[in-house]
C-alpha cells in the first residue's frame, strides 16, 4: 500500500511504502504515572516531548526547509535538549542534531529519576560525557552492579562512579525507582575494571563504611565495621579503599584502619590490561577446568572457590587466559581445537585452533566462574534479536498481519520462521532473544527498547509482504534510511547486513529479487544496533503464498537467515 503522508510543518510531502504496520504505540505518560507510585521523588528528569501528530518529520535544523532525517509517530517520546523558535531539539536514532516542530508535540516533565540502575548487558561502559562520540570510557560496570543515579542528560543517566561521576546509556540499564539515590552506595558489586584486589582486616574498634571516598558531608555512613572484620579491597582512591564486607555490603573505608597483604590486580576480560602480578612462587588459588562438547564446538568452564583475576590475550586462532591461580584439568584436543595449561605455576590456559576460531568469555556475577564458548562459527557468542512481526493484542483484538487468499496468516509464517532460525542459531553458539511468543502485547517502540536492553548485536524483523497488485512477488530487505551520512560506520554496517540477508534469503528461498529498500519503520529507527526487516515473500501473490505455507520453504528461509548472519559477521570482522 502507498501512503502519502503530509508533513506536519510545511507543505512538502513524504511518500512511504507501508504494509500493515498500523499498531498501537507506547503510551508513555501512563507508564510514567505508574513509575511515580514506586518511590518518592528524588530529582526532576529532563523535558520530554510526546508526539501528538500521526506522522511528524524530524529535520536537521529548526526549519521546514531543513533536510528530513526521520519520521516520529504518534505517542513516541523523545528527550528534549534545546528549544528554538517553537522547535525542539531531540535525540533520535543516530542523529545528534534532530529537530521537531513544537506544533505537533506535547511537552512535560518525565517521571522522577530512579535511585539506582543496573546494567542489562554483561559489561557496560561508563563514560565521562553523555554521548558516545565524545564520551571517554572511564570504566565499566557489570550486570551484577547497582549504580546510584544523581541526574540525567538526554538518553543518559549521571551516576556516582569511582568516587566521582560518570554517564551510562539509559537503554542499557534497568531503573530501580524503589531506592533513594542519597543512601545508595556508588556500586553494589565487585567492579569489572582493573584495580587493587586484596584480603584486608579492620584494625580499629569501630570503622564507618561510607557511600563515597570522603568523611565530610559529601558522603553518608551506610554501615559500621568492628575490629577483625574481613574485607575484600577492590579499588584505591587516595586514602580510601572501596571494599566488600563479609556480609555482602559495599562501600568506602579509611585506608589507615585496614591491614592487608599480597595485593593483586583484578581485571575482567580487558585485552589491554597487564598480566596479573604474582606473589612469590606460589599460586594464589586453585581453578578447575572442565569442558563439554557442543553443536558448535566446546564450552569450557573455569571455576574456583575464590574470585578469579584474569586477563585475555586474543588472536584469530588463539585465546589465552592469564591468571595468578593454578589451573587443573580440562585439557583436550579434538576436531581441530585444543586446550592446554602452561606457565611455571600452571596458570595459563590456552585454546587454539587449526583454523580461525571464534569465542566468547563470560564471567559469573560472583567472579568465581568463567565460561568460554569456542567454535569455528562466527556466530559463537553473538546475541541475535529476532522479531517475528505482528501477533500483537490491543483492546482484545489480535493483529494477524497480512492475510493470503487461502487464509494464511502472516503472523504464523513469521513466527514459524523465527523459531526455526533461533534453533539453528543456537546450534552455532549464538544467544537468541525473541520479541514474542505466539502473541505479544508489546508495541513497536517497546520491541525496539527490548532489543536495545538485550545487548543484541543484530536485529532481524521477519515479515511477509502484501500488495494491491496480486502479480507483485519476491523477497526484499529493508533498512533505516542512512543516505544522510554514507561515510558513517552505521551506513556501512546496515547496508552490509542488508546485502548479506537479501542474498542469503534469495539463495535459500529461490523467489524473485524484489530488492533492498530504506524506510523509517519504528523497529528499524528506534534500535541501536544494525537492523534489517525481511519481507520473505508476498502473501498476496498466489505463487509466493503457496511456498510460504510449506514447512520446507520456511526451513530454507531460516537457514538463509543464519547464512546471511554468518556472512555478515565474517565480512564485518566484528
d(CA 475, CA 412): 18
C-alpha cell at 312: 585475555
| Cβ(528)–Cβ(559) below 8 Å | no
d(CA 188, CA 142): 10
Instruction: State whether residue 494 is helix, strand or coil.
Output: helix
CA-to-CA separations, 313 to 270, 275, 331, 351, 352, in angstroms, rounded: 9, 9, 18, 11, 12
| Cβ(492)–Cβ(479) below 8 Å | no
C-alpha cell at 328: 587443573
Instruction: State whether residue 487 is helix, strand or coil.
Output: coil
How many residues does the structure list for the chain? 574
| Cβ(68)–Cβ(520) below 8 Å | no
Catalytic residue among 410, 446, 535, 545: 535
Number of helices (H), then strands (E), in the chain: 7, 41
Question: Residue 167: which of 194, 192, 139, 142 has the closest Cα?
Answer: 139
Q: Is 535 a catalytic residue?
A: yes
Question: Residue 181: which of 41, 86, 48 has the closest Cα?
Answer: 41
Strand partners, 13: 6
Q: Largest Cα–Cα distance of the chain, in whole Å?
A: 85
Question: Residue 495: which of 543, 532, 540, 469 has the closest Cα?
Answer: 532
- Outline where DSSP puts E strands in 228-324: 230-237, 240-245, 250-254, 258-266, 286-293, 297-303, 310-315, 318-323
Active-site positions read 535
Amino acid at each position: 500500500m502507498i501512503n502519502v503522508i503530509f508533513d506536519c510543518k510545511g507543505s512538502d510531502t513524504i511518500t512511504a511504502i507501508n504494509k500493515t504496520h498500523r499498531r498501537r504505540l507506547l503510551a508513555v505518560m501512563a507508564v510514567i504515572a505508574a513509575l511515580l507510585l514506586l518511590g518518592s521523588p528524588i530529582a526532576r528528569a529532563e523535558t520530554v516531548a510526546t508526539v501528538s501528530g500521526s506522522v511528524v518529520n524530524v529535520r536537521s535544523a529548526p526549519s521546514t526547509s531543513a533536510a528530513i532525517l526521520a519520521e516520529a509517530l504518534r505517542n513516541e517520546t523523545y528527550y528534549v535538549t534545546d528549544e528554538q523558535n517553537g522547535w525542539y531539539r531531540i535525540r533520535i536514532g543516530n542523529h545528534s542534531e534532530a529537530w521537531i516542530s513544537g506544533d505537533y508535540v506535547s511537552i512535560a516533565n518525565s517521571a522522577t529519576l530512579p535511585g539506582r540502575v543496573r546494567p542489562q548487558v554483561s559489561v557496560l561502559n561508563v563514560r565521562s560525557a553523555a554521548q558516545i562520540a565524545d564520551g571517554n570510557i572511564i570504566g565499566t560496570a557489570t550486570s551484577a552492579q547497582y549504580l546510584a543515579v544523581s541526574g540525567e542528560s538526554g538518553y543518559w543517566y549521571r551516576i556516582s562512579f569511582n568516587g566521582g561521576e560518570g554517564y551510562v546509556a539509559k537503554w542499557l540499564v534497568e531503573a530501580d525507582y524503589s531506592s533513594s539515590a542519597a543512601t545508595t552506595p556508588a556500586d553494589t558489586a565487585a567492579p569489572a575494571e582493573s584495580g587493587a584486589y586484596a584480603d584486608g582486616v579492620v584494625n580499629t574498634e569501630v570503622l564507618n563504611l561510607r557511600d563515597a571516598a570522603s568523611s565530610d558531608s559529601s558522603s553518608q555512613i551506610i554501615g559500621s565495621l568492628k575490629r577483625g572484620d574481613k574485607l575484600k579491597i577492590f579499588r584505591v582512591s587516595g586514602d580510601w579503599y572501596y571494599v566488600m564486607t563479609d556480609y555482602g555490603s559495599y562501600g568506602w573505608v579509611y585506608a589507615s584502619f585496614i591491614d592487608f597483604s599480597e595485593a593483586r590486580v583484578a581485571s575482567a576480560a580487558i585485552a589491554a590490561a597487564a598480566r596479573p602480578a604474582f606473589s612469590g612462587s606460589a599460586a594464589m588459588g586453585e581453578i578447575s577446568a572442565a569442558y563439554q562438547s557442543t553443536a558448535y564446538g566446546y564450552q569450557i568452564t573455569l571455576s574456583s572457590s575464590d574470585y578469579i583475576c584474569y586477563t585475555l590475550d586474543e588472536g584469530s586462532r588463539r585465546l589465552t587466559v592469564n591468571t595468578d591461580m593454578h589451573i587443573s584439568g580440562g585439557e583436550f584436543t579434538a576436531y581441530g581445537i585444543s586446550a592446554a595449561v602452561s606457565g611455571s605455576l600452571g596458570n595459563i590456559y590456552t585454546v587454539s585452533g587449526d583454523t580461525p576460531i571464534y569465542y566468547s568469555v563470560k564471567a559469573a556475577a560472583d567472579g568465581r566462574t568463567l565460561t568460554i564458548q569456542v567454535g569455528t562459527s562466527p556466530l559463537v557468542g553473538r546475541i541475535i534479536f529476532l522479531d517475528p512481526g505482528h501477533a500483537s493484542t490491543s483492546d482484545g483484538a489480535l493483529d494477524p498481519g497480512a492475510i493470503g487468499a487461502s487464509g494464511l496468516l502472516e503472523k504464523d509464517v513469521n513466527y514459524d520462521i523465527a523459531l526455526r532460525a533461533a534453533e539453528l542459531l543456537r546450534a552455532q553458539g549464538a544467544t537468541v532473544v525473541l520479541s514474542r511468543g505466539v502473541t505479544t502485547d508489546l508495541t513497536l517502540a517497546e520491541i525496539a527498547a527490548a532489543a536495545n536492553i538485550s545487548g543484541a548485536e543484530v536485529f532481524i524483523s521477519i515479515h511477509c509482504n502484501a500488495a494491491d497488485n496480486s502479480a507483485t512477488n519476491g523477497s526484499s530487505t529493508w533498512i533505516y534510511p542512512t543516505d544522510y551520512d554514507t561515510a558513517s560506520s552505521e551506513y556501512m554496517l546496515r547496508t552490509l547486513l542488508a546485502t548479506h540477508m537479501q542474498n542469503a534469503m534469495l539463495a535459500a528461498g529461490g523467489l524473485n529479487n524484489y530488492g533492498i529498500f530504506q524506510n523509517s519503520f519504528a523497529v528499524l529507527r528506534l534500535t541501536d544496533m544494525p537492523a534489517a526487516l525481511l519481507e520473505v515473500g508476498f502473501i498476496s501473490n498466489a505463487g509466493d503464498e503457496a511456498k510460504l505455507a510449506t514447512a520446507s520453504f520456511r526451513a530454507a528461509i531460516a537457514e538463509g537467515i543464519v547464512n546471511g548472519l554468518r556472512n555478515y559477521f565474517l565480512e564485518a570482522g566484528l
